[in-house]
Amino acid sequence: MPAPEPDRREDLLTVLPRITQLSAAITKGRLVERAMESAALTLDRPAVGVLLTLRMADGALRVGEIAERMQVVGPHITRQVQALEKRGLVRRVADPLDRRASLIEPTEAGTEAVNRYMTSVLGWFTDTLAHWPDQDRDDLARLLGRFADEVTARLSQEEDEAEGAGD
């Protein structure tokens, strides 16, 4: 991939520190922990990530699909799913396309827990952006979504190319 043109690189130099600033503010501000406390969740971040991934999916997912969406390796997800199963927050169901495989779906308790968490996080961001004009909020959502999708796609493409080169 060619290097960006010099004037475009300057634009990016102003964005990268802002991404770092935002990440640090959210992490140091303990947003995830505060939302988990508010939702009365006694789970670790990866477990909440699994529940969020399932919540955002159109239906039940295989462990590999959860791992792919979370951009982690399968064994980590398997352990998280097992722990969530023991707590009654997810369950395994037969895959209608392959009876040998199972899908993971949240239980009613898991759905309620992740909804409480999402309500807390969304409330925090809603309060933070409350004074922004509608157009600015719409632009943020559109551009941030586009940026996240393109970064994720590019990283996935580079991983695929690296795996292909190793064959």
Domain boundaries, the chain: 24-129, 131-160
Residues in the chain: 167
Q: Rounded to 10 degrees, what is the CA torsion of 73, 74, 80, 86?
A: -170
CATH 1.10.10.10 fits 24-129, yes or no: yes
Report d(CA 28, CA 127) in Å as an integer: 18
Report d(CA 109, CA 90) in Å as an integer: 8
The model's pLDDT over 70-119, given as tens digits with 9 standing for 90+, comes to: 988 888 999 999 999 999 999 999 988 888 889 999 999 999 999 999 99
CA distances to 31, 66, 111, 134 from 52, rounded to whole Å, are: 15, 10, 9, 26
Q: Which letter does DSSP use for residue 107 in this model? A: -
The model's pTM = 0.77
The model's pLDDT over 9-47, given as tens digits with 9 standing for 90+, comes to: 777 888 889 889 988 888 887 888 889 998 898 998 899
Highest mean pLDDT among 6-15, 97-106, 132-141, 147-156: 132-141
> Would you say residue 126 has pLDDT above 60?
yes
Query: E strand or H helix at 20, and its extent?
Result: helix 6-28
What is the mean pLDDT of the segment spanning 42-55?
Answer: 93
Report d(CA 130, CA 141) in Å as an integer: 14
Instruction: Calculate helix-pair angle for 74-86, 63-70, nearest 10 degrees.
Output: 120
- Residue 44 burial (CB count, 10 A): 11
